[in-house]
Amino acid sequence: MVHGLEKINNIIAAEEEALMSLSREIHSHPELGDQEFYAVQILCDYLAAKGFAVEKEIAGQKTAFIARRRGGAGEGGLHIAFCAEYDALPEIGHACGHNLIAGASVAAAVALAGTDPGVPFTVSVIGTPNEEGRGGKIDLIRAGVFEGVDLAMMFHPDYISCVDYPSLACRTFSFTFHGENAHASGNPWDGRNALDAVILTFNGINALRQQLRDDVRIHGIITDGGQAINVIPDRAAAEFCIRSMDNRYLGEVVEKVLNCARGASLATGTGLSIAETEYPYDAMLTNRVLGQIFWDSLKEVSEEEWNERKEEVGAGSTDMGNVSLVVPSIQPLVAITDREVAVHTAEFARLCGTPQAYKVMLEVGKAMALAGYKVLRNPALLERIKEEFVKRTGSVRQRE
């Protein structure tokens, strides 16, 4: 095992400047989802120079790519993928630290590809666009990009560290009600009020909350509330996001929420059109065996005192959740700061461009490479990873 770690350390030491410069460049040129052309260009140029076969614009996405390299001697073997995100947020730039995710995944791939675990293998970087928006990984899954991948890894920077934390399955719907205009004072009895239907939908959902489990989140906005105060609105619309830790329970809650809108439509005599406006995100199913291998590896490659702070993690949603249902996956949170600075803030964006952040990024890159190396060396680990994956995904009823 020492041999693998030494090799990984040597490769990262030699590539340190180049890897930090990639991440720094992405940080200082923030690009929104599906517009990450500069990030994709520099990542792919670097990977091609390191012997990776690069395919761009995959799965019909202009800023998705896969870069593959063979390792070890012979044919076949495992395929280990590292996912790279690189999209930024409007106004506040790399406030989610995706420049560090890209840097760590590229570091891990280059380091792992240079090891010799004694078996043949494939290592790839899968470039996944627009995580903050529509969830580019979902198109990649649908296009079959993850078929044949045995393990998928990436990390997410944070102010706390935690390998297995809750993330929520999430579905987004718009409700548009179609009523009848009338003068709001002259002949209101001739109208059918679409805005009332929206308000009744909110009230119905608020009444529903008492009967829902604690892990459910429902949040909505009115996207069209009518145009003139003296006209009964013939059109009004709202958009809702519905989340739960449990993919199966989420399906039940969605049906109840849709019924709130249907009831409002009936009560007001308005027509209703329902549209699912975003891809459904699945709850992240962290592979605990792989997560433990990563965590042990992080302690081996780093001199930091790493501590998990599980109970403090607030739950969002990620398209890596969808990947975790098709391939054993991890997305550990790793702290890049000692201060409590939340992601999606201007201060976090600043922290994602500091020497401390780049140091953590390289250590995570090494740890992910070492985790991959350990699995390649030890088939019993892979057995345990796959056994857990089959057991836990079997109990998640997928929607499709």
Q: Which is nearer to Zn ion, 133 or 251 (CB)?
A: 133
Q: Does 334 bind Zn ion (CB under 5 A)?
A: no
Q: Does 250 bind Zn ion (CB under 5 A)?
A: no
Q: Which is nearer to Zn ion, 47 or 96 (CB)?
A: 96
- Axis crossing angle, helix 355-377 with helix 379-394, rounded to the nearest 10: 100
Task: Say how far apart CA 39 and CA 353 lie, in whole Å.
Answer: 15
Minimum Å distance from CB 362 to Zn ion?
19
Minimum Å distance from CB 116 to Zn ion?
34
The span of 89-97, 235-243, 330-338, 356-364 binding Zn ion (CB under 5 A) equals 89-97
CA angle in degrees (0–180, nearest 5) for 7-297-149: 80
Q: Does 323 bind Zn ion (CB under 5 A)?
A: no
Minimum Å distance from CB 96 to Zn ion?
3
Q: Which is nearer to Zn ion, 4 or 103 (CB)?
A: 103
Q: Contact at 8 Å (CB) between 124 and 68?
A: yes
Minimum Å distance from CB 36 to Zn ion?
13
165: tokens are 């934390």
Minimum Å distance from CB 296 to Zn ion?
25
String of contacts with Zn ion for each residue 92-131, x by CB under 5 A:
----x-----------------------------------
Query: How far, CA to CA in Å, does 292 sit from each of 39, 63, 100, 208, 220?
Result: 31, 32, 21, 39, 37
Q: Which is nearer to Zn ion, 72 or 127 (CB)?
A: 127
Minimum Å distance from CB 89 to Zn ion?
7
In the complex, which residue's CB is closest to Zn ion? 96
Size of the site for Zn ion (CB under 5 A): 1
The span of 18-26, 88-96, 334-342, 372-380 binding Zn ion (CB under 5 A) equals 88-96
Long-range contacts of 28-33 (CB under 8 A, 24+ apart): 28/353, 30/88, 30/89, 30/93, 30/94, 31/86, 31/87, 31/88, 32/87, 32/88, 32/89, 32/90, 32/133, 33/87, 33/129, 33/130, 33/131, 33/132, 33/133, 33/134, 33/136
Minimum Å distance from CB 297 to Zn ion?
22
The span of 39-47, 91-99, 134-142, 249-257 binding Zn ion (CB under 5 A) equals 91-99
Minimum Å distance from CB 90 to Zn ion?
12
Q: Does 361 bind Zn ion (CB under 5 A)?
A: no
Binding-site ranges for Zn ion (CB under 5 A): 96
